[in-house]
């Protein structure tokens, strides 16, 4: 309402950018530094990368972002939102940065600026029992994926699945597999491993990888000063052992891109 009221007193151009948001209004790093806090959005439903333990936001990406913010000399104000709202919010300058396991894609790169990747992974097939392990096995099958994810695009592109069912959260796609409503679930390989460990009685099995991807945080399109601070901070924690320690704590291995 406030924004709309502003429209009546400002020029047509200013009005358009107020209503639609515009990367030109994204806070450069100087402003963030002066403010002392960076606003970081994530989903909080993608264990072990970003999730809630009770009311506490935690996970590999939460630890990595906190370590990077410390290097950048700022505090994080966390926001948790649905996955499909995260990149859109950068355009509207609702937050400065998103870290939620986004794979770097051409399509997303048209809308946001990605930092350097903080890990490398990919989509893996999860099924119940032995029958469905390979991309070929997915022919004619019903596959569950999170909506708006690279798993959706890649299952569509590389398999002959009969149906790709989308779910708002990745954990809903997992539940669909566990309860037998779909033949397979395609998700991140580390998410799948953690899910198997947490649900040993479920009968879930890991199959082949469908594709690999580089996962990065994102800032508003063209917000180069924030992207370059993130890159510097990431390089620093990867050089001084901080990244390695965080990665080993969550995965027992270093998952940086090689
Ligand atoms: N890596 C996948 C992608 O880029 C899935 C990311 C899902 N992240 C999440 N917080 N649920 O689309």
DSSP character string of 177-208: HHTTSSSEEEEEHHHHHHHHHHTGGG-EEEEE
The number of the ligand 1 atom at minimal distance from the alpha carbon of 149 is: 12
**Ligand 1 midpoint to CA 209 (Å):** 15
Ligand 1 probe mutation, 149, 152, 171, 217, most atoms within 8 A of CB: 149
The 3-state DSSP class for residue 80 equals strand
CB under 8 Å to 74, separation ≥6 — which residues?
32, 33, 35, 36, 37, 38
**Ligand 1 midpoint to CA 100 (Å):** 6
CA distance 36 to 33: 5
ipTM above 0.90, yes or no: yes
CA distance 182 to 12: 50
The number of the ligand 1 atom at minimal distance from the alpha carbon of 148 is: 12
Closest-CA residue, ligand 1 atom 7, reads: 101
Stretches where the chain sits below pLDDT 70 are 1-24
Residue 141 has a pLDDT of 97
Contact 99, 200 (CB under 8 A): no
The number of the ligand 1 atom at minimal distance from the alpha carbon of 49 is: 10
121: Cβ below 6 Å to ligand 1?
A: no
102: Cβ below 6 Å to ligand 1?
A: yes
**Ligand 1 midpoint to CA 114 (Å):** 14
**Ligand 1 midpoint to CA 30 (Å):** 29
Residue 17 has a pLDDT of 46
**Ligand 1 midpoint to CA 83 (Å):** 8
Mind listing the pLDDT tens digit for each residue in 5-31?
Answer: 444 444 444 444 445 444 448 999 999
Residue 23 has a pLDDT of 47
**Ligand 1 midpoint to CA 104 (Å):** 10
170: Cβ below 6 Å to ligand 1?
A: yes
**Ligand 1 midpoint to CA 46 (Å):** 8
Q: Average pLDDT of the chain? A: 93
């Amino acid at each position: 309402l406030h924004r709309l009221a502003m429209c009546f007193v400002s020029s047509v151009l200013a009005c358009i950018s107020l209503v639609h948001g515009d990367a030109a209004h994204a806070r450069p790093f100087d402003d963030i530094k002066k403010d002392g806090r960076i606003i970081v959005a994530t989903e909080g439903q993608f264990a072990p990368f970003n999730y809630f333990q009770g009311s506490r936001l935690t996970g590999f990406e939460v630890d990595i972002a906190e370590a990077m913010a410390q290097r950048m000399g700022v505090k994080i104000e966390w926001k948790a939102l649905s996955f499909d709202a995260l990149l859109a919010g950068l355009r509207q300058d609702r937050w400065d940065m998103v870290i939620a396991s986004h794979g770097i894609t051409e399509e997303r790169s048209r809308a946001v600026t990605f930092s350097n990747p903080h890990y490398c992974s990919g989509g893996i097939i999860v099924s119940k029992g032995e029958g469905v392990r390979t991309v070929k096995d997915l022919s004619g099958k019903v596959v569950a994926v999170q909506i708006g994810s690279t798993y959706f695009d890649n299952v569509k592109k590389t398999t002959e699945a009969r149906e790709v069912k989308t779910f708002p959260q990745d954990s809903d796609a997992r539940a669909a597999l566990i309860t037998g409503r779909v033949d397979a679930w395609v998700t991140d390989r580390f998410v799948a491993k953690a899910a198997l460990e947490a649900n040993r009685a479920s009968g879930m099995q890991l199959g082949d990888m469908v594709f690999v991807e580089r996962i990065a945080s994102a800032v508003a399109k063209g917000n180069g000063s924030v992207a370059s601070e993130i890159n510097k901070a990431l390089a620093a924690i990867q050089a001084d052992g901080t990244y390695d320690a965080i990665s080993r704590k969550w995965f027992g291995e270093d998952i940086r891109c090689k």
